[in-house]
C-alpha cells in the first residue's frame, strides 16, 4: 500500500522504517527541515523500559498542590480559557485511583517491554550507534517517604516480571560511584537494570537514513493542511504543496495530532505538557553519572550521553507555547549541580519540547473510525522508550496482521 506517515519525530521515523520493512511504499511528511527537530530533539535521553509509570497516580492531586508552591517545582500550571486543557486535566484526575493506576501501568509496561525487545532487534539489524548505554535507571530517593511510596511501583514491576532492585545508599553508590560525594543527601533508590540511555536525535537521524535506503520518501518543510477523507475513508493528505494520495495514513504528530483529526469526529485527548532540558559538557567524569539518575524530589532525569550530561524534566501545562523560562533553567541546574557537579553549566544549551500526554499515560496506537486512518501518538515522556515497539505494532495493524502483543486497549476507542 501507499502509506503516509505524518511526523518525523522518533515515533514517526520508527513507524516509517517498520512500514517499509513490511513492504509498503512509505512517505513521511513533516514541517521541519529534518527528522527529530521538535519533541525528540533534546529529551532526557532515558530509554526507560522499567521506569515507566502514569503521571496520574493516587496522591498526585495533593502532591500537585504542594508542588505549585515550591521554588524548584516539578509541576507548573498556567491556567487559561482552554476547554481542551480543562477536559484533559479532568480526565487525568479521574485516573488518579489505585485501580486505574495499576491498569494503566500494566499497559505501559507491556508496551515498554515489547519495545525493549524491538529496539535490541533493530540495533542488531542496523548497527546504529547513538551514545547508547545499557546500565539501567536509578530512581533516587532523598527522603524516607519517597522510598516508602515506591512500594506500589515495586509491586507493579514484580507483577509484570520486570527486573528491579531496591537499594540502600551504599547500593546507589555502587551503581553510580559519583554519588559518594553526596552520600548524606540520599536514603535509597530503585534500580531498573534493563533500562538504557541514548541520544534520541542521533538515533532518529541514523534510522531515517536507513529508512531512506529502504525507499522511504521524506517530504521535509511541508506544511500539513488536513486530511482528505471521502466516504468514511482517508484518501490522502492535504499539504501546502497539494494533495498526497494514500491508501493509509499514520498520524504521529505528537501534541498536534488532536488538531488534525478533530474535524473528522475523532476525540483524541492528547495535550501538550512542556518539558525542559539542559545539555552540559562533562568536565570531570568522576563527578558525572554513568547512566540515568531520576531525582525523585524534582522529577528530573540526569543522563550520561557520551561526553555530555543531559538534564531533563518538569511538567508545564501551558498550552502550545515553547518559550524558555529562566526559572526552569535554574531548577534543572540546581538538581544536577546538587548531585553531579561534573559538568560546565555555563556552557549548557537550554531547550524545551511539548510532550504529547494522554490522561491515563498510555499512548494511543491503532485504527480510528475513519477507514485507513491510524494513530501512533500520545507517548508523553516515553516516546523514545516506546517508539520501537509502537512502530512494530502500527506496522502490523496497517498491514492487517495481528500484533505480537495485545494492542486492543491501546486504540483511541478506549476513550469512547
* CATH code for position 299: 3.30.9.10
Average pLDDT over residues 166-177: 97
Residue 416 pLDDT exceeds 80: no
In a domain, 110, yes or no: no
Same domain, yes or no: 232 and 177: no
CB 14 within 8 A of CB 363: no
For the chain, percent of residues with pLDDT exceeding 70: 100
In a domain, 393, yes or no: yes
Residue 16 pLDDT exceeds 90: yes
Write down the pLDDT at residue 296.
Answer: 93
- Is 9 part of any known ligand binding site? yes
Residue 70 pLDDT exceeds 90: no
Write down the pLDDT at residue 135.
Answer: 95
In a domain, 387, yes or no: yes
Same domain, yes or no: 286 and 346: yes
Same domain, yes or no: 75 and 27: no
- Is 81 part of any known ligand binding site? no
For residue 18, give its domain range: 2-41+202-269+361-415
Can you give the three-state secondary structure of the chain, one letter per residue?
Answer: CEEEEECCCHHHHHHHHHHHHCCCEEEEECCCCCCCCCCCCCCCCEECCCCCCCCCCCCHHHHHHHHCCCCCCCEEECCCCCHHHHHHHHHHHHCCCHHHHHHHHHHHHHHHHHHHHHHHHHHHHHCCCCCCECCCEEEEECCHHHHHHCHHHHHHHHHCCCCCEEECHHHHHHHCHHHHHHHHHCCEEEEECCCEECCHHHHHHHHHHHHHHCCCEEECCCCEEEEEEECCEEEEEEECCEEEECCEEEECCHHHHHHHHHHHCCCCCCEEEEEEEEEEEECCHHHCCCCEEEECCCCEEEEEECCEEEEEEEEEECCCCCCCCHHHHHHHHHHHHHHCCCECHHHCEEEEEEEEECCCCCCEEEECCCECEEEEECCHHHHHHHHHHHHHHHHHHHCCCCCCCCCHHHCHHHHC
- Tell which of 315, 342, 357 closes a domain: 357
Cell of 20: 517499509
In a domain, 17, yes or no: yes
Same domain, yes or no: 138 and 180: yes
| pLDDT tens, position by position, 128-171 | 999 999 999 999 999 999 999 899 889 888 988 889 999 999 99
Q: Mention every residue, 6+ apart, whose C-beta is less than 8 A from residue 53.
A: 105, 108, 153, 156, 361
- Is 16 part of any known ligand binding site? yes
Average pLDDT over residues 306-329: 93
Cell of 64: 500537585
- Is 10 part of any known ligand binding site? yes
Same domain, yes or no: 74 and 150: yes
Same domain, yes or no: 280 and 177: yes
Write down the pLDDT at residue 407.
Answer: 97
Residue 62 pLDDT exceeds 90: no
Residue 68 pLDDT exceeds 80: no
- Bridge partners, residue 343, by sequence: 282
- Tell which of 308, 336, 357 closes a domain: 357
Q: Where are the alpha helices (DSSP H) in 46-97?
A: 60-67, 83-94
Average pLDDT over residues 390-414: 97
CB 32 within 8 A of CB 253: no
- Is 118 part of any known ligand binding site? no
Q: Are strands 271-281 and 308-317 parallel, antiparallel or unpaired?
A: antiparallel
Same domain, yes or no: 188 and 136: yes
Write down the pLDDT at residue 60.
Answer: 86
Residue 77 pLDDT exceeds 90: no
Same domain, yes or no: 169 and 277: yes
Average predicted confidence (pLDDT) for the chain: 95
For the chain, percent of residues with pLDDT exceeding 90: 88
- Is 13 part of any known ligand binding site? yes
Average pLDDT over residues 17-27: 98
Write down the pLDDT at residue 161.
Answer: 86
- Is 8 part of any known ligand binding site? yes
Same domain, yes or no: 281 and 367: no
Cut 0.85: pTM above it: yes
Q: Which residue has the higher pLDDT, 55 or 8?
A: 8
pLDDT classification of 231: cutoffs 50, 70, 90: very high
Write down the pLDDT at residue 64.
Answer: 84
Residue 42 pLDDT exceeds 90: yes
- Is 4 part of any known ligand binding site? yes
Eight-class DSSP state of 138: E
Average pLDDT over residues 389-413: 97
Residue 200 pLDDT exceeds 80: yes
Average pLDDT over residues 326-330: 92
- Is 273 part of any known ligand binding site? no
Residue 30 pLDDT exceeds 90: yes
- Is 252 part of any known ligand binding site? no
pLDDT classification of 390: cutoffs 50, 70, 90: very high
Burial of 383 (0-12, 13-18, 19+ CB in 10 A): buried
Residue 293 pLDDT exceeds 90: yes
Same domain, yes or no: 177 and 247: no
- Is 50 part of any known ligand binding site? no
Write down the pLDDT at residue 392.
Answer: 98
Most confident of 63-67, 153-157, 304-308: 304-308
Cell of 62: 495533593
Same domain, yes or no: 344 and 369: no
Eight-class DSSP state of 265: T
CB 404 within 8 A of CB 392: yes
Same domain, yes or no: 388 and 264: yes
Eight-class DSSP state of 371: B
Cell of 214: 529502504
In a domain, 120, yes or no: no
Cell of 314: 518538569
Distance of CA 85 to the CA centre of its chain: 20
- Tell which of 357, 375, 407 closes a domain: 357
CB 220 within 8 A of CB 34: yes
In a domain, 379, yes or no: yes
Average pLDDT over residues 289-312: 95
In a domain, 126, yes or no: no
Give the count of domains, the chain: 2
User: Could you give phi then psi for residue 171, rounded to 5 degrees?
Assistant: -65, -40
In a domain, 146, yes or no: yes
Residue 79 pLDDT exceeds 90: no
CATH assignment of the domain containing 247: 3.50.50.60
Amino acid at each position: 500500500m501507499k502509506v503516509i506517515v505524518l511526523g518525523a519525530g522518533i515515533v514517526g521515523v520508527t513507524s516509517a522504517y517498520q512500514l517499509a520493512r513490511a513492504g509498503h511504499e512509505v512517505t513521511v511528511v513533516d514541517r521541519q527541515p529534518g527528522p527529530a527537530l521538535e519533541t525528540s530533539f533534546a529529551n532526557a535521553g532515558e530509554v526507560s523500559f522499567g521506569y515507566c509509570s502514569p503521571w496520574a497516580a493516587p496522591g498526585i492531586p495533593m502532591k500537585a498542590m504542594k508542588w505549585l508552591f515550591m521554588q524548584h517545582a516539578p509541576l507548573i500550571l498556567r491556567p487559561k480559557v482552554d476547554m481542551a486543557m480543562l477536559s484533559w486535566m479532568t480526565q487525568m484526575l479521574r485516573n488518579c485511583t489505585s485501580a486505574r493506576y495499576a491498569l494503566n501501568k500494566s499497559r505501559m509496561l507491556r508496551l515498554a517491554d515489547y519495545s525493549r525487545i524491538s529496539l535490541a532487534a533493530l540495533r542488531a539489524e542496523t548497527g546504529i550507534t547513538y551514545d547508547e548505554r545499557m546500565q539501567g535507571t536509578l530512581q533516587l530517593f532523598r527522603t524516607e517517604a519517597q522510598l516508602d511510596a515506591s512500594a506500589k511501583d515495586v509491586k507493579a514491576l514484580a507483577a509484570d516480571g520486570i527486573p528491579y532492585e531496591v537499594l540502600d545508599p551504599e547500593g546507589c553508590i555502587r551503581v553510580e560511584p559519583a554519588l559518594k560525594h553526596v552520600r548524606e543527601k540520599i536514603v535509597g533508590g530503585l534500580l531498573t537494570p534493563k533500562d538504557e540511555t541514548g541520544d534520541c536525535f542521533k538515533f532518529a537521524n541514523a534510522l531515517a537514513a536507513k529508512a531512506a535506503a529502504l525507499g522511504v520518501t521524506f517530504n521535509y518543510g511541508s506544511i500539513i493542511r488536513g486530511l482528505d477523507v471521502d466516504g468514511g475513508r482517508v484518501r490522502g493528505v492535504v499539504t501546502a504543496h497539494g494533495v498526497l494520495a494514500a491508501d493509509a495514513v499514520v498520524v504521529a504528530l505528537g501534541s498536534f495530532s488532536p488538531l488534525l483529526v478533530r474535524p473528522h469526529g475523532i476525540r483524541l485527548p492528547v495535550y501538550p505538557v512542556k518539558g525542559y532540558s539542559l545539555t552540559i559538557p562533562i568536565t570531570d567524569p568522576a563527578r558525572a553519572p554513568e547512566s540515568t539518575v531520576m531525582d525523585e524530589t524534582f522529577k528530573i532525569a540526569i543522563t550520561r550521553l557520551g561526553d555530555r550530561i543531559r538534564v531533563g524534566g518538569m511538567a508545564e501545562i501551558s498550552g502550545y507555547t515553547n518559550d524558555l523560562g529562566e526559572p526552569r533553567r535554574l531548577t534543572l541546574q540546581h538538581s544536577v549541580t546538587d548531585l553531579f557537579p561534573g559538568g560546565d553549566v555555563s556552557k549548557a544549551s537550554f531547550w524545551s519540547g511539548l510532550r504529547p500526554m494522554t490522561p491515563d499515560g498510555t499512548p494511543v496506537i491503532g485504527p480510528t473510525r475513519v477507514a485507513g486512518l491510524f494513530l501512533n501518538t500520545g507517548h508523553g515522556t516515553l516516546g523514545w522508550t516506546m517508539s520501537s515497539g509502537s512502530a512494530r505494532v502500527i506496522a502490523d495493524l496497517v498491514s492487517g496482521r495481528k500484533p505480537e502483543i495485545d494492542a486492543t486497549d491501546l486504540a483511541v476507542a478506549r476513550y469512547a
